[in-house]
A and B are shown apart, each in its own frame.
Chain A
């Protein structure tokens, strides 16, 4: 187990920069999830920590030791690949013991370590099979087993669940979390799936365009997104945004969406009067069937039942808006509905997209 310090890491392919100065400290035993859309640089960062990509500039330290120029084999980290990357000509047992055999560990010790990991992952009946005779979920388990027998300084996961079907993904997600609880190993997990990020992480690192957008606990990112990108990326269905202007009307704070109905705010926002801004509210915070002076009428465009709840697609003035509710009364709603955007759940972002 070890801490991992990343300071001012940059990566370019030729003249194309991919990572623009990443700073991140990962504590001993922490589970950190790197999340972001395709091409945000999260996998590149992980591969640089593993030693599979050269570092253009900056420094990576594992347990305090600079590893920039160390070969992957000398970094003492384990990695689970998206493709599993099992050795096809070796049995499950041989796959799992490969790293230990390379380290010339005693045969009896290898056998006991591998057997222990197999028990933990429920792989005992499969030990003599070749990878091609395994299902996707079993392959995934073998890949995990291959990583845990090593007791490495850190585990790296590169989208390990994205090749599994939804049910299996849910199950393996829970198993990974349990495993981390058992082993307490420093883990870095790359995914584009925000549910995986939310459920697994001690801390989430949201990345976009080769830059870290926000680092924080899952609920931190959910409740207090630092900018428009994080606000839009975390949460499903995604946050509603309204572009407009922040103004004062008769001494009261008002948000005027472009072409929309003015919204009276309960408290003044930390914005300059007359400045352009974006207002955000999560679909689950939109109050449906509201009454009172702040209620506005919205047209119902579409009703999507998800089983768990209902997503309503609404039009409020010129802007579209999504609302999420658990109340089945809205399943057959048509025409218009009164909605309210409660002040305590509003997020304001200034012109540069930063949360204020």
Chain B
């Protein structure tokens, strides 16, 4: 910022702006900070030190316990399998369906869209019992496959609309040019349109992954026992009849954040990039 262009009023405005952003960031990140703080507080200080911003002594005893003596690694692995599979399957289906909705007109399109919207209108709690009733005879309760199926079903409609809006943003001329150049419709989709939709695909993957990663209601209802439990359910196992192991629970929570963070680090390049720039006059 060039110094001479800063009048007093502008400095104040700039300062107020930055302070507002800072306040927001602090507000949003404080729970995460508290999670981290509790997770490194030794048990003996947890209730004795009162409310402090940082414990007088830190230790990794909770992490150690969670990794070695709890079933957390199983929960973590289960969650990774469920959320990863759901994200991949949903994104693949939503890409194809979103492309069809964006580019083709076909009989029944209106009704398909209406029905997909309809699925988004029910509170999920209403559907727990019927879904349990459906999955139970198929042997899909208490199984990761069952969870993947349920999560996929619930995430496909929204992900489809999301992908459709990304496809709508890509000029139709591009695939027409590809088809005249000698590509089939699917070839044009795969070689021209799909690479340009990477930001959209990344966003959809991220959205579905985090949704499935933190889902509690269905995994709690459909899974019994620790073998197939996902990590949100697993966190509840730190709540016992007589006490809550806050330290261990927070340590598990911190570790559960890692995949989501890694995932967004991986895809952030695509989220900010406008890949279609320069395609057509603009």
Contact = CB atoms under 8 A, between A and B. Distances in A.
A315 interface: no
Contact of B278 (A73, A81, A131): A131
B100 interface: no
Contacts of A98: 178, 181
A87 B183 contact: no
A269 to B, nearest CB: 48
A245 B253 CA distance: 93
Contacts of A253: none
Instruction: Name the residue among B181, B278, B279, B280 with the largest chain A CB count within 10 angstroms.
Output: B181
Interface residues of A, number: 31
Interface in B166-197: 171, 173-174, 176-184, 187, 192, 195-196
B276 interface: yes
A130 B183 CA distance: 21
A134 B187 CA distance: 26
A81 B195 CA distance: 21
B51 interface: no
Contact of A132 (B177, B187, B278): B278
B182 A86 contact: no
Contacts of B217: none
Nearest to A163: B281
Nearest to A164: B281
Interface residues of B, number: 23
Name which of B180, B187, B195 has the most chain A CB atoms within 10 A of its CB: B180
B11 interface: no
Interface in B135-188: 171, 173-174, 176-184, 187
A79 interface: yes
B183 A88 contact: no
Given A73-B182, A73-B183, A102-B183, A131 B177 contact: no
A72 B178 CA distance: 9
Contacts of B183: 73, 102
Contacts, number: 84
Given A81-B176, A102-B187, A88 B276 contact: yes
B184 A88 contact: no
Contacts of B279: 83, 85-88, 131-132
Given A83-B281, A102-B182, A163-B281, A88 B177 contact: no
Nearest to A76: B182
Contacts of A150: 181
Contacts of A87: 174, 177-178, 192, 279
B277 interface: yes
Given A83-B173, A85-B173, A130 B181 contact: no
A77 B180 CA distance: 7
A160 B254 CA distance: 57
8 contacts: A71-B179, A79-B177, A81-B177, A83-B281, A86-B280, A88-B276, A88-B279, A139-B278
Interface of A: 50-52, 71-73, 77-79, 81, 83-89, 98-99, 102-103, 130-134, 136, 139, 146, 150, 163
A-B interface, 8 closest residue pairs, ranked by CB to CB distance from nearest: A132-B278, A83-B280, A85-B173, A99-B181, A131-B278, A85-B177, A88-B279, A102-B182
Given A72-B180, A81-B173, 20 more contacts: A51-B179, A71-B184, A73-B180, A73-B182, A78-B181, A79-B180, A81-B176, A81-B177, A83-B280, A84-B281, A85-B177, A87-B177, A88-B278, A89-B195, A89-B196, A132-B278, A133-B278, A134-B278, A136-B281, A146-B181
Interface of B: 171, 173-174, 176-184, 187, 192, 195-196, 275-281
